[in-house]
Amino acid sequence: AIYLTHMPSEASSSLKWIHCKFSMQLSPAHLADVRAGIGEQLGNSMLRYNTSLGGVALMFDRLAIKSDLAVISSDAPVVFVPIEVRLLVFAPEVGQRMEATVLRHGSDHLALLAHGLVNVTIPHRTAAADAAAGDAPAGGSGEDGGGGGGGGGGG
């Protein structure tokens, strides 16, 4: 389970709620309990970078199945179920400042933990350049100066 202790202020946050509507591909094995099948599929996609979202989905809520009918494509072994869901997405912008816990200072990178959930890696040359410019905050926090942050999980 993922537990977020607080939501940072929306204006400066790298966390964003995104409302999504799409057709979920569902195996016929899940037709006995469609909601559980969709929940399982969504759960499996958490804590991974998603290009369409532009970030890492951390959690979901407000799942709604939009129709009692599903679409079967001519040659696909799945059914397409229209859903609507709200996703909490970690999507920092390039140049955005954020607090993170330094986990490791390697020879070529900084490993950080943002929001206590997401592993962020910054190439050392970027971190060194920020430090040389005097932009690095003092004491156990790092900065995501490269807009990176994806992949991996945390927690």
**Cβ partners under 8 Å of residue 155, min gap 6:** 2, 3, 47, 116, 117
Q: What is the rounded CA–CA span in Å between residue 100 and residue 134? A: 17
φ, ψ of residue 143 in degrees (nearest 5): -135, 140
DSSP classification of residue 73 = -
Higher pLDDT among residues 150 and 96, named by residue: 96
Higher pLDDT among residues 51 and 7, named by residue: 51
Predicted local distance difference test score (pLDDT) of residue 120: 85
| Segment 98-140, tens digit of pLDDT | 888 999 988 888 899 888 888 888 887 655 566 666 655 444 4
Predicted local distance difference test score (pLDDT) of residue 75: 82
Cβ neighbours, 10 Å, residue 114: 22
Averaged confidence pLDDT in the chain: 78
For 47-62, give one letter per residue: b (16+ CB within 10 A) or e: bebeeebebbbbbbee
Would you say residue 13 has pLDDT above 70?
yes
Outline where 73-112 has alpha helix (H): none
pTM of the complete model:
0.66
